[in-house]
Amino acid sequence: MSLNSIFQYFVPKDKKFFPLFEQASSNLIDMAKLLKELVNLPDSSKRKELCRKIEDLEHRGDDISHQIHLELGKNFITPFDREDIHTLTSSLDDVADFIHGASNRIDLYKVEKITDPIIEMADLILEATEDVAKAVHELRNLKNIRNITDSCVRINSIENKADYIFDKAVGELFEFEKDAIVLIKYKEVLSAMETATDKCEDVANVLESILVKNA
């Protein structure tokens, strides 16, 4: 606790890292919104366009990560451990990768009918990225640790729901889908989406371990 006060004293307003983390996590929300839009399209005519937008945002995320690394090289004092900044950055990157991966598979595998579990998954991914962004915003002042841990708990529960939906959907594919290639398509799309929520849980774990060290 005393460590925390020292910490707050010396780095009262970090002007470099926090805004970048906030940009990275807002970017995830934008990607998740586009993914939700994509899986709710009435037909696949606008699909390519949305996929391209998601890809653009993934590149924007890469740029933000790169800027964080440049700042790490320039700044001797950082708001928390350099390796945690590094781990947090790459875990946010992983979320972007799998949201992009999911949209990419829907496009590349030419998935015709978007099923209910895919739509539910997109909702959960959006929820999870919103909690990731909330928790990341609270990092600025570690006063409201409770807000961060609450978000982390919610992310964990979202990931559990995504797990359940994935398992149930794949169970049903094995029961009712007789075309093996169609079965694989849906399984792979759902699996990328489920992994996106796993990666949000990884972000939550990194945040919790930052709290554990600095609180």
Chain residues binding its own copies by CB under 8 A are 69, 72-73, 82-83, 85-87, 90, 104-105, 108-110, 167-168, 170-171, 174-175, 177-178, 180-181, 183-185, 187, 205, 208-209, 212-213, 215
Q: Which is nearer to its own copies, 97 or 126 (CB)?
A: 97
- Token reading at 124: 């959960």
The CB-of-92 to its own copies minimum distance in angstroms stands at 13
CA 198 to chain centre: 8
The CB-of-68 to its own copies minimum distance in angstroms stands at 10
Q: Which is nearer to its own copies, 42 or 73 (CB)?
A: 73
Q: Which is nearer to its own copies, 29 or 142 (CB)?
A: 142
Place of tokens 């950082």: 78
Amino acid type, 173:
L
Pairwise CA distance, residues 22 & 14, whole Å: 12
Pairwise CA distance, residues 4 & 2, whole Å: 5
Place of tokens 């590094």: 86
Pairwise CA distance, residues 106 & 123, whole Å: 16
- Token reading at 176: 């009712």
Q: Which is nearer to its own copies, 32 or 170 (CB)?
A: 170
The CB-of-183 to its own copies minimum distance in angstroms stands at 6
The CB-of-199 to its own copies minimum distance in angstroms stands at 14
